[in-house]
């Protein structure tokens, strides 16, 4: 650990990586909370994987892959939202199809892109150590956008997540806010792809919020706790991976996954003990 701290003070790329992890944690904490309570992990997965199509196309046409990823994420969020609202009987099949088609398109584009296209693995599994400084500013800008939208429309987003029928009866345009929520998920997915790659995005999006949900019982509280957990996982993953030279993304995910399993078991135990104590008290 001291070795990592020393390296952190010396190497700019490690500082950049640490900041990227913290910026990603903010998105995964705040938006991940909505994903977990609204139970749209599968939709988020579809969005994440179809991003490869946009990245591949951007590379092929010589454009910025991050821009391609953002465009693809937003388009697939709108398509998936539309499918869920108008074609709900086939929802899971269609989202599964989009998921696969997006990835296939991306891989074909990358294969046909002339010259060196970077390691395909780094898109799939991310490489936080290769985040350019310029991307930090983009990530910070996207975080700011996410927070601004959520603060402005917190009540409506909460209503759509909590009780769609009530929201509709209170005159909230449910379709619009549902699609807005999926677009927020899309932006967050792009933030997180920088850190853990698109295969592992879902884990970082949902695990911190799910762990927080075991112990905190207000939406705002879960957002704060999940952001803190996300920051802890990305920072600790970076530090743990440094000395043995492990890939950072999978290390972060294993930390988060391990913490989730421990938290779920502990929460179950606490709940059982509380129920037993209550039964004994009567």
Partner 1 sequence: MNAETAAVAISGLSFSYGDALVLEGVALTVAQGEFLGLVGPNAGGKSTLLKLILGLLEPQAGQVRILGRPPAEARRLLGYVPQHPGFPRDFPITVEQAVLMGRLGVGLGWRCWLGGWSAADRAAARAALLEVQATDLAQRQIGTLSGGQLQRVLVARALVGDPRLLILDEPTANIDQRMEGEIFDLLRALNARMTILVVSHDVAFISAYVTRVACLNRTLVCHTTEAIDGQLIQDLYGEDVRRVAHQHAA
CB of 233 to partner 1, least distance (A): 21
End-to-end CA distance of the chain: 51
Residue 209 in tokens? 């919020």
d(CA 84, CA 78): 10
**Of residues 180-219, which lie at the interface with partner 1 (CB under 8 A)?**
213, 216-219
What CA–CA distance (Å, rounded) separates 228 from 174?
30
Check binding of 280 to partner 1 (CB under 8 A). no
Name the residue among 110, 108, 85, 83 with its Cα closest to residue 95.
Answer: 83
Of residues 215 through 274, those in contact with partner 1 by CB under 8 A are: 216-219, 221-222
Task: Report in angstroms how near the CB of residue 29 gets to partner 1 at its nearest.
Answer: 14
Query: Can you tell me the distance from the alpha carbon of 88 to that of 60, in angstroms, rounded to the nearest whole number?
Result: 34
Site map (CB under 8 A) of partner 1, residues 151-180, x = contact:
xxxxxx-xx--xxxxxxxxxxx--------
The rounded Cα 130 to chain-centroid distance in angstroms is 19
Q: Can you tell me the distance from the alpha carbon of 197 to that of 190, in angstroms, rounded to the nearest whole number?
A: 9
What's the token pair of residue 82?
A: 């539309």
Of residues 35-64, those binding partner 1 (CB under 8 A): 37, 39
- Cβ-based nearer residue to partner 1, 103 or 172: 172
User: Could you tell me the smallest distance in angstroms from the CB atom of residue 225 to partner 1?
Assistant: 11
Nearer to partner 1, 85 or 152 (CB): 152
The residue ranges that bind partner 1 (CB under 8 A) are: 37, 39, 151-156, 158-159, 162-172, 213, 216-219, 221-222
């Amino acid at each position: 650990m001291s070795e990592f701290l020393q390296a952190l003070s010396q190497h700019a790329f490690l500082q950049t990586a640490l900041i990227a992890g913290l910026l990603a944690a903010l998105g995964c904490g705040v938006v991940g909370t909505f994903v977990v309570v609204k139970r749209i992990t599968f939709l988020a997965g579809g969005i994440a994987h179809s991003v490869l199509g946009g990245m591949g196309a951007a590379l092929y046409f010589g454009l910025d892959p991050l821009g391609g990823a953002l465009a693809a994420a937003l388009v697939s969020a709108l398509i998936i939202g539309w499918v869920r609202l108008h074609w709900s009987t086939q929802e899971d099949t269609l989202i599964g199809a989009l998921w696969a088609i997006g990835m296939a398109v991306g891989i074909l584009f990358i294969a046909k892109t002339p010259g060196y296209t970077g390691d395909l693995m780094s898109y799939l599994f991310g490489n936080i150590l290769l985040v350019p400084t310029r991307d930090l500013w983009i990530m910070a800008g996207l975080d700011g956008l996410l927070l601004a939208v959520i603060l402005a429309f917190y009540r409506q987003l909460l209503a759509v997540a909590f009780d769609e029928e009530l929201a509709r009866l209170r005159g909230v345009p449910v379709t619009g806010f549902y699609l807005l929520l999926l677009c927020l998920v899309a932006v967050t997915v792009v933030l997180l792809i920088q850190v853990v790659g698109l295969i592992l995005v879902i884990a970082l999006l949902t695990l911190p919020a799910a762990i927080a949900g075991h112990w905190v019982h207000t939406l705002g509280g879960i957002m704060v706790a999940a952001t803190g957990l996300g920051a802890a996982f990305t920072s600790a993953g970076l530090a743990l991976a440094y000395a043995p030279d492990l890939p950072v993304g999978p290390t972060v995910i294993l930390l988060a996954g391990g913490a989730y399993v421990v938290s779920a078991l502990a929460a179950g135990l606490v709940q059982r003990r509380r129920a037993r104590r209550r039964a004994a008290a009567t």
